[in-house]
Amino acid sequence: MSKTVEVIIGGTGHEITRSKFTNEEFDKINVYCKENDTDIESVLTDGLEDILEDRGMWYDCDDLGHFSGGNLGCKIYVSVGDSEYEFETKDTEIEEDYSNIYPKFKGGRMVSFVTWEKGQMHSCEFEIGDEEEFDIKKLKLVVSHIETPDSYYEIIKEMFYNGEALNGDGFGDTTGKAFDIEIEEECDCDDEEEEISKDESNGPMVGSSGEFGGETKISSK
């Protein structure tokens, strides 16, 4: 016999994509902006596919990484049968992942797209023994550290319980609160560091789009 445990991580989080844009791509974007009396912010947010045939929406621009999830300020809500519990992320085991903290590349410029989301960030269900008690200390959160030109983020990307990966339904319903675009100048890196592996473990957050009710801003560094 077994019983079902439901774990929901709720609060605030982000979806972040990073992409290398060549100088030629930026030249085309700048020409388009001038000819159509628009700005680079609008083009990068929604309109790249009209200018660059190999580009899509901002959330597809992720050759230098794609990350989405809640932050460490989220709450953890656990249901076991008729019992409900609330925890903080500090009550769990935390595994730090620095493998994608800052991409290195040669030539061109990196563009970072960052959304601020609020709502149900993660959810999953799993079984434990009928006589077994849920133990928050057996819940492990894998946290990705991600740096952009202006900010630093810690995003929950995976969950484990008692050593077993929890493969839930992905991200729940979220509401977009704000959207940032950060443009970095050319990185002066060694040639052998040019190739960056795309992190394919995280896809677009459910409900993501280029439209948000909050502020949109762009920065360059």
Q: Which two tokens stand for residue 49?
A: 């596919």
Answer for the pair 130, 75: CB distance below 8 angstroms, yes or no. no
Residue 167 has a pLDDT of 82
Residue 101, φ and ψ in degrees, nearest 5: -60, -45
The reported pTM is 0.79
Sequence letter at residue 197: S
Pairwise CA distance, residues 218 & 149, whole Å: 11
Residue 169 has a pLDDT of 61
The full set of domain ranges for the chain reads 2-220
pLDDT tens-digit readout, 138-161: 999 999 999 888 889 999 999 999
Answer for the pair 32, 165: CB distance below 8 angstroms, yes or no. no
Q: Which two tokens stand for residue 174?
A: 């979220």
Strands 152-161 and 139-147: antiparallel
Answer for the pair 197, 104: CB distance below 8 angstroms, yes or no. no
Residue 173 has a pLDDT of 81
Residue 107 has a pLDDT of 81
H/E element holding 29? Answer: helix 23-35
Judged against a pLDDT cut of 70, whether residue 170 lies above it is answered with no
Judged against a pLDDT cut of 90, whether residue 188 lies above it is answered with no
Q: Which two tokens stand for residue 8?
A: 């929901």
DSSP state of 91: G
Q: Which of 80-84, 103-107, 129-133, 170-174 has the lowest mean pLDDT?
A: 170-174
Judged against a pLDDT cut of 50, whether residue 198 lies above it is answered with no
pLDDT tens-digit readout, 20-71: 999 999 999 999 999 999 998 889 988 898 899 889 999 999 999 999 999 9
Pairwise CA distance, residues 3 & 193, whole Å: 49
Q: Which two tokens stand for residue 128?
A: 């434990």
Strand-by-strand arrangement of the 93-97 sheet: 93-97, 139-147, 152-161, 164-165
Share of the chain above pLDDT 70, in %: 81
Residue 14 has a pLDDT of 94
Pairwise CA distance, residues 212 & 71, whole Å: 19
Pairwise CA distance, residues 179 & 221, whole Å: 17
The 3-state DSSP class for residue 59 equals helix
Average pLDDT of the chain, as a whole number: 83
Answer for the pair 202, 125: CB distance below 8 angstroms, yes or no. no
Strands 2-21 and 109-129: antiparallel
Alpha helices in 36-183 (DSSP H): 40-45
User: Among 35, 4, 23, which Cα is nearest to 123's?
Assistant: 4
